[in-house]
């Protein structure tokens, strides 16, 4: 095949054949195409888009570029959950034990923190002993032992995505819908759970800034899943401010434990329960029965007990006393009194990463006691002497004054009350296509 012709075809808005898509993905994984041709094709796809068939071929070829676990082949009842990423998104740590307590087994491949968002694997590392590096066989054993497996994505999963993602990053082609779908779904399908619940974030702290664009992504992700035989639903949720109040590793673990004990933050709880319910409905539960069961396991201690079993099975000591504590804390006060009208979650996430919950170099150690606790939400009335957040300082040397100032500036305070954005907008189908202007 003359790949220049394929690039020209896509540049001019044409459709690629399955063969052309396969050549492209192979070119990325085995180096049989030079980076300039891969980059040109990425830009052509970014500008011209892809149809549903092309998107599915792209996803399948990326999936087949690496190791395919196909967990559903051995444990058809397993569900997976994926979030498109955000700040204060502690959901995975809470969802897995809740579903395990209910008897819906869960498997998730998790990643490290990236930029402003903290990674689930990093949060789990806050528990001494947790081992995320698991083979397929060990993952099946974990599912059987404790009802949940949260494991690290191996280097052998969708290797084409690593090459393409790195090229997208330097060619301004990250936002392309089919490229995002291929990237996310190739990794989800590699794990191969038979059911997948998606949390697609919209808003200032998400990479889809409008409801319409989040909905478009939700529809495209679900379509690929369903066409490949995976039960799938997507909820569109708010990321115009951090989801939960804790941004960090040990502090998010503590927040998860608070919810599993029947308390905790109401927003984080609501989204987590909504996603659990969505997963249960995919598994044939009636939504009302699911809600009752979810309330039950949170109230009677069985979700917390499931968490302890999960931690032990993954090699960790679940004793919360072992979680790292901050070395010191700094309260951050508002710049004015009034109402919180906006909250820059992205910058708060970057502050949390900088103080120790993330890495500035790939090999940097995390400071597990470090992070940011957010005390106010959009719509809240605050007084001048009321802290809006707390900076948790850990073992890393940081410029505290500068971080405190950045936290303060992340909150916009105005004289008039505003309505907080709706937390769960619903499924893609619940939201009319005409939510286009997406100013809500
Ligand atoms: N997450 C991914 O894994 N890939 C993307 O392209 C976007 C989000
Ligand atoms: Ca709208």
pLDDT digits (tens, 9 = 90+) for 345-373: 999 999 999 999 998 887 889 999 999 99
Return d(Cα 252, Cα 320) in angstroms, integer.
Answer: 12
Helices (H), 147-286: 159-171, 177-191, 211-227, 250-260, 266-282
Ligand nearest to the CA of 425: 2
Q: Which of the listed residues 112, 165, 171 should we mutate to test ligand 1's pocket, taking the one with most ligand atoms within 8 A of CB?
A: 165
3-state secondary structure 237-267: EECCCCCCCEEECHHHHHHHHHHHCCCCCHH
Atom number in ligand 1 closest to CA 183? 4
What 8-state DSSP symbol labels residue 421? P
Q: Which residues contact 200 (CB under 8 A, 6 or more apart)?
A: 84, 208, 214, 215, 217, 218, 221, 234, 235, 236, 237, 428
C-beta separation of 187 from 221 below 8 A: no
Q: Render pLDDT for 324-340 as a digit per residue (tens, 0 to 9).
A: 999 999 999 998 999 99
pLDDT at site 434? 54
pLDDT at site 435? 53
Ligand nearest to the CA of 437: 2
Residue minimizing CA distance to atom 1 of ligand 1: 184
Ligand nearest to the CA of 111: 1
Is the model more confident about 427 or about 361?
427
Q: How far is the CA of 63 from the centre of ligand 1 (A)?
A: 14
pLDDT at site 169? 87
Q: Taking 90 as the threshold, does the pLDDT of residue 65 lie above it? A: yes
Beta pairing class for 338-343 and 411-414: antiparallel
3-state secondary structure 77-121: CCEEEEECCCCCCCHHHHHHHHHHHHCCCEEEEECCCECCECCHH
pLDDT at site 440? 43
Q: Taking 50 as the threshold, does the pLDDT of residue 438 lie above it? A: no
| Rg of the chain (C-alpha set) | 22
Q: How far is the CA of 118 from the centre of ligand 2 (A)?
A: 29
Return d(Cα 357, Cα 248) in angstroms, integer.
Answer: 5
Q: How far is the CA of 378 from the centre of ligand 1 (A)?
A: 28
Counting residues of the chain whose pLDDT is more than 70, the rounded percentage is: 98
Mean pLDDT of 256-262: 98
- The residues that are catalytic are 82, 161, 168, 183, 187
Return d(Cα 125, Cα 224) in angstroms, integer.
Answer: 32
Mean pLDDT of 220-237: 97
Q: How far is the CA of 341 from the centre of ligand 2 (A)?
A: 18
pLDDT at site 439? 45
Q: Which of 224-228, 298-302, 316-320, 431-435 has the lowest mean pLDDT?
A: 431-435
Q: Which of 54-68, 94-108, 111-125, 286-300 has the lowest mean pLDDT?
A: 111-125
Q: Taking 80 as the threshold, does the pLDDT of residue 117 lie above it? A: no
Mean pLDDT of the chain: 95
398 burial (CB, 10 Å; 0-12 / 13-18 / 19+) is: middle
CB atoms inside a 10 Å sphere around CB 272: 30
Q: Residues whose CB is under 5 A from ligand 2 (ion)?
A: 435, 437-438, 440
Return d(Cα 230, Cα 215) in angstroms, integer.
Answer: 19
**Among residues 201, 151, 136, 107, which one has the least CA distance to residue 424?**
201
**Residue 187 Cα distances to 167, 235, 383, angstroms:** 18, 19, 46
Work out the pLDDT band at 119, boundaries 50, 70, 90.
Answer: confident
C-beta separation of 110 from 121 below 8 A: yes
pLDDT at site 57? 98
Work out the pLDDT band at 250, boundaries 50, 70, 90.
Answer: very high
Residues with CB under 6 A from ligand 1: 180, 183-184
Q: Taking 50 as the threshold, does the pLDDT of residue 160 lie above it? A: yes
Atom number in ligand 1 closest to CA 168? 6
Q: Taking 90 as the threshold, does the pLDDT of residue 300 lie above it? A: yes
CB atoms inside a 10 Å sphere around CB 184: 21
């Amino acid at each position: 095949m003359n790949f220049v012709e394929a690039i020209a075809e896509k540049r001019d808005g044409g459709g690629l054949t399955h063969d052309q898509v396969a050549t492209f993905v192979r070119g990325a994984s085995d180096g049989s195409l030079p980076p300039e041709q891969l980059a040109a094709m990425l830009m052509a796809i970014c500008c011209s888009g892809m149809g549903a068939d092309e998107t599915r071929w792209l996803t399948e070829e990326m999936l087949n570029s690496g190791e395919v676990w196909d967990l559903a082949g051995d444990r058809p009842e397993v569900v997976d959950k994926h979030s498109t990423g955000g700040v204060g998104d502690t959901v995975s740590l809470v969802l897995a034990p809740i579903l395990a307590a209910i008897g819906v087994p869960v498997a998730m491949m998790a990643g490290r923190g990236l930029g402003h968002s903290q990674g689930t694997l990093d949060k789990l590392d806050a528990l001494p002993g947790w081992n995320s590096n698991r083979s397929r066989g060990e993952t099946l054993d974990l599912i059987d032992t404790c009802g949940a497996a949260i494991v690290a994505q191996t280097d052998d999963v969708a290797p084409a995505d690593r090459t393409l993602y790195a090229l997208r990053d330097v060619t301004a082609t990250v936002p392309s819908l089919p490229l995002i779908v291929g990237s996310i779904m190739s990794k989800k399908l590699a794990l191969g759970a038979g059911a997948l619940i998606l949390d697609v974030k919209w808003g200032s702290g998400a990479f889809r800034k409008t409801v319409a664009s989040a909905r478009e992504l939700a529809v495209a992700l679900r379509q690929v899943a369903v066409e490949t035989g995976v039960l799938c639903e997507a909820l569109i949720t708010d990321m115009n401010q951090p989801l939960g109040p804790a941004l960090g590793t040990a502090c998010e673990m503590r927040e998860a434990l608070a919810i599993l004990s029947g308390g905790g933050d109401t927003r984080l709880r609501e989204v987590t329960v909504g996603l659990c319910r969505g997963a249960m409905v995919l598994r044939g539960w009636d939504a009302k029965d699911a809600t009752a069961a979810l309330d039950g396991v949170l109230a009677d201690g069985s979700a917390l007990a499931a968490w302890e079993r999960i931690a032990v099975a993954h090699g960790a000591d679940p004793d919360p006393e072992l979680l790292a504590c901050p070395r010191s804390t700094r309260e951050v006060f508002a710049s004015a009194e009034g109402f919180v009208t906006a909250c820059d979650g992205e910058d708060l996430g970057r502050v949390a990463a900088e103080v120790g919950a993330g890495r500035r170099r790939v090999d940097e150690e995390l400071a597990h006691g470090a992070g940011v606790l957010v005390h106010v939400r959009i719509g809240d009335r605050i007084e001048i002497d009321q802290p809006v957040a707390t900076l948790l300082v850990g073992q890393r040397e940081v410029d505290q004054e500068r971080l405190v100032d950045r936290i303060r500036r992340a909150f916009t305070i105005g004289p008039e009350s505003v309505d907080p954005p709706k937390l769960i907008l619903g499924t893609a189908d619940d939201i009319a296509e005409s939510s286009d202007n997406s100013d809500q």
